[in-house]
Chain A
Amino acid sequence: MTGMHLAKSGFSSRRVLWQADRMSKISVANLSKTFGDQAVVNGISFDVEEGSLAVLLGPSGCGKSTTLRLIAGLEEPSAGSITIAGRDVAGLAPAARGLAMVFQSYALFPHLDVAENIVFGLRVRGVGRAERGERLRKVADLVGLGPYLARKPGQLSGGQRQRVALARAIIAEQRLCLMDEPLSNLDARLRHEMRVEIRALQQRLGMTMVYVTHDQTEAMTMADRVILLRDGRIEQNGRPDELYERPASVFAARFIGAPPMNIIDAGAGDGLIGVRAEHIRIRGAGESGHAARVAAIEYLGADTMVTAQMGENRVTARLQGRFGAGDGEPVVLDWEKVHEHRFDAKTEQRLEI
């Protein structure tokens, strides 16, 4: 099973229809969800544009999955509103909101074979046998499940199960698709493959997608817009490059990018200075710059991560190729002023220079 056969499918003609007659912008305004006295989602507002992919990103417990479930209608908001395609969906059942969803666990019906799992929703909605078969064939082709239609979910690999969940969401032909950490149960290689495929599908079918993940790589590679959440609030909302190049806070700076941005305490009221690892240069001892001592070296092939102790701060530099010096050797660190990000020492918010 290699890649999805986009070109072969009959979706290209249908896609125009979907886009033309269905608006699917999402607007979330002052949305809150409280469990007991704990606000899991705390007054957040954001928009997801028609046909775009928005990633809700954040560490566990930040409220990203709850936000998705609120949009889906699986939870009732404590306050605020959700508008899908211009319609306030408060009190609407999940099925009435015109959306599809892929669950982290895939939520496949273990007693039904792949084909029946995929067409489950079509059966519920009373779609005729001929049309069911036709749509099943197309979708199975699209996600490369053709040879597995008669199998039970228990006989499939993790990646295949993921595709079944994906196919079930696609066959509904809904304008809006919600994904709750869909790749977190897959191994690294498969995750990369599926990431590319999901993004290609989303663009091909013109779906509006809200995608929840804690993996910043997924967010950076797939999203049109990343909404970074922390403790139920939005930390930053922007394009991936905005989050990377102009992080709004120390949290955003360290959550986006690997390795996390170096945060250097400049001391004495100068605030915090952030520098990305790739912008740090290492020179031999004695040259101009900040004196430091090599603490750890990680050789990754194309480049090497060198961590150095610079006074109170630990700083990681990404260097191309190999690095000659060994542990404990004195070096000098240096970076250009334009690559500095400034943060307030107390609030940890970005300071414009």
Chain B
Amino acid sequence: MLTGRRNAFLAWLLVLPASVLLVVFTHYPVIGTAWHSFMSTPRGRRPARFVGLENYQTMLADPIFWKAFYNNLIYAAGTIPLSVALALAMAVLVSSRIPGRGLLRMAYFTPTVLPMIAVANIWLFFYTPGYGLLDQFLALFGLGGTNWLGSPDTALWCVIVVSIWKEAGFFMIFYLAALQQIPPDLREAAAIEGSGRWYFFRRVTLPLLMPTTLFITINAVINAFRLVDHIFILTRGGPDNATSVLLFYIYEIGFKFWDEGLASAMTIVLLAVLAATAIAQFVFAEKRVHYQ
């Protein structure tokens, strides 16, 4: 009895440092934000007061919020499937026995190591009209002179390309680790049964990678709403809010227009969207994912 209580005490003591950090930097801010989303923004001598759902009403009536929401959906739909598929393709390539495999792995992983701000600056040069890398290349075919980041038609896609480039290498590492967990004799057993490479990939490799795919897609979804650093460098949400996504817009509302209440309301919506997708993915995947 005594040792049981002492064990429990010790357990809590050991969990304490981590839980303090979680509470201070994660749980308290979430609750605080939820609270602020029901309050007006304090201005000058007017303190914050309870306004109920007023912030949410303002948000729903704001066309730029909807624009940012829509942009974010496009951004997610553009980045997630492509970066995951690319990661898988790269992992399959560098897990096979090819010359220069180590170098290729490093090359694929490099974008992950680079800070997003630096990456964005490199791509800024690529996209520059006239003398940027992309335009110089296209000029060879007589197609130069596109203002990639300056045109509302192309700006969001440019941002999407940078994200895919940045993320695929990171996801590749997880696929690579998972691929190496698959025993080689499965491939041999399949070869003896006459299974071709593609059949084996579809029937064995892909299903065995499902837990990894689930993990990666959840991370990809979160990143699609969270990773906005490059937008600050590349477009600052422009032109005409064409590249403004939710988190970027929240930052503008909160720290440029200092409307704390409205920013809080939007943050809560963002959190709700993320939580809902994560739960949906788990529920969907539970039936289809085989864990070893």
Contacts and interface: CB of A to CB of B under 8 A. Distances in A.
Given A110-B208, A111-B208, A93 B191 contact: yes
Interface in A84-118: 93-95, 99-101, 103, 105, 107, 109-111
Interface stretch (A120-128, A210-218, A336-344): A120-128
A12 to B, nearest CB: 25
B193 to A, nearest CB: 3
Contacts of A125: 193-194
Interface in A17-74: 72, 74
Number of chain B interface residues as a range: 10 to 19
Nearest to B184: A107
B207 A111 contact: yes
A178 to B, nearest CB: 8
B208 A107 contact: no
Contacts, number: 61
Given A74-B188, A124-B199, A107 B183 contact: yes
B190 interface: yes
B192 A101 contact: yes
Contact of A103 (B185, B194, B210): B185
Given A110-B292, A111-B207, A124 B195 contact: yes
A111 B290 CA distance: 6
Nearest to A180: B185
Nearest to A111: B290
Kindly name the residue among A103, A110, A152 whose own CB sees the greatest number of chain B CB atoms within 10 A.
A110
A95 B208 contact: no
Contacts of A103: 185, 188-189
B279 interface: no
Is chain B's interface secondary structure helix, strand, loop, or mixed overall?
Answer: helix
Interface in B159-188: 183, 185-186, 188
Contacts of A111: 204, 207-208, 210, 290
Interface in B277-292: 290, 292
B292 A94 contact: no
A95 B191 contact: yes
Contacts of B195: 95, 120-121, 124
A162 to B, nearest CB: 14
Contact of A94 (B185, B191, B210): B191
Contact of A74 (B191, B199, B208): B191
A172 interface: yes
Contacts of A109: 186, 203-204
Contacts of B191: 74, 93-95
Given A105-B183, A111-B207, A172 B193 contact: yes
A34 to B, nearest CB: 18
A100 B183 contact: no
Contacts of A110: 208, 290, 292
A107 B193 contact: no
Contacts of B190: 120, 124
A100 B199 CA distance: 19
A72 B192 contact: yes
A160 to B, nearest CB: 17
A126 to B, nearest CB: 10
Contacts of B193: 95, 120-121, 124-125, 168, 172
Nearest to A169: B192
Interface in B203-247: 203-204, 207-208, 210
A124 B198 CA distance: 11
Nearest to B193: A121
Contact of B186 (A107, A121, A124, A154): A107
Contacts of B207: 111
Contacts of B210: 111
Contacts of B189: 101, 103, 107, 168
Nearest to B195: A124
Contacts of A105: 183, 185
A152 to B, nearest CB: 8
Nearest to A105: B185
Contacts of A152: 290
A95 B192 CA distance: 5
A111 B195 CA distance: 17
Nearest to B290: A111
Given A109-B204, A110-B208, A124-B199, A99 B192 contact: yes
A206 to B, nearest CB: 20
Nearest to B185: A107
A312 to B, nearest CB: 47
A111 B192 CA distance: 19
Contacts of A121: 192-195
A331 to B, nearest CB: 52
B202 to A, nearest CB: 11
A100 B192 contact: yes
A152 B208 CA distance: 13
12 contacts: A74-B188, A74-B192, A95-B191, A95-B192, A95-B193, A95-B195, A101-B189, A109-B203, A121-B192, A121-B193, A121-B195, A152-B290
Given A103-B189, A152-B290, A154-B292, 17 more contacts: A72-B188, A74-B191, A74-B192, A95-B193, A103-B185, A107-B186, A107-B189, A109-B186, A109-B204, A110-B292, A111-B208, A111-B210, A121-B194, A124-B190, A124-B194, A124-B199, A125-B193
Nearest 4 Cβ contacts at the A-B interface: A121-B193, A95-B194, A107-B189, A111-B290
Interface of B: 183, 185-186, 188-195, 199, 203-204, 207-208, 210, 290, 292
